[in-house]
Amino acid sequence: MTSTPAAPAASVLFVCVHNAGRSQMAAGFLSHLAGDRVEVRSAGSVPAEQVNPAAVEAMKEAGIDISAQRPKVLTPEAVRASDYVITMGCGDACPVFPGRTYLDWALEDPAGQGVAAVRPIRDEIERRIRALIADFDAR
């Protein structure tokens, strides 16, 4: 008798404008810390060409490799498929659907900044991700 894997406890979509920094770091932390317990997506309203190299470096310092990630465009389907939509400065570009939990994390944009400036943003994202996982686990 084979057991089927449990469905993820929740699905989370992280959204920022370029899907190159904050949302990629958040997705990296949630995937790393929650494993397959949570389905993770990220997208941007105006995706960049590549993930911010300073964000990649800052995450590498934390032991998480996001170098293979690519910015993706935000679609209504991605929002519909998510239980939680966590925005990080995308403003009104994010479509709203009933039955989803929306959170807005006000975080400094790491675009154009060096790794030293990205580290405190990374650390704040990690703190929020750990709190989010604790919230999931409490349910």
Please say if 16 is a catalytic residue.
yes
Give the active site residue among 12, 16, 25, 85.
Answer: 16
Please say if 94 is a catalytic residue.
yes
- Kindly give the confidence (pLDDT) of every residue in the chain, 139 residues in length, as a single tens digit, with 9 standing for 90 and above: 554 556 777 899 999 989 999 999 999 999 999 999 999 999 998 999 999 999 999 999 999 999 999 999 999 999 999 999 999 976 656 677 788 899 999 999 999 999 999 999 999 999 999 999 999 888 7
Amino acid type, 16: C
**Do 81 and 11 touch, CB atoms closer than 8 A?**
yes
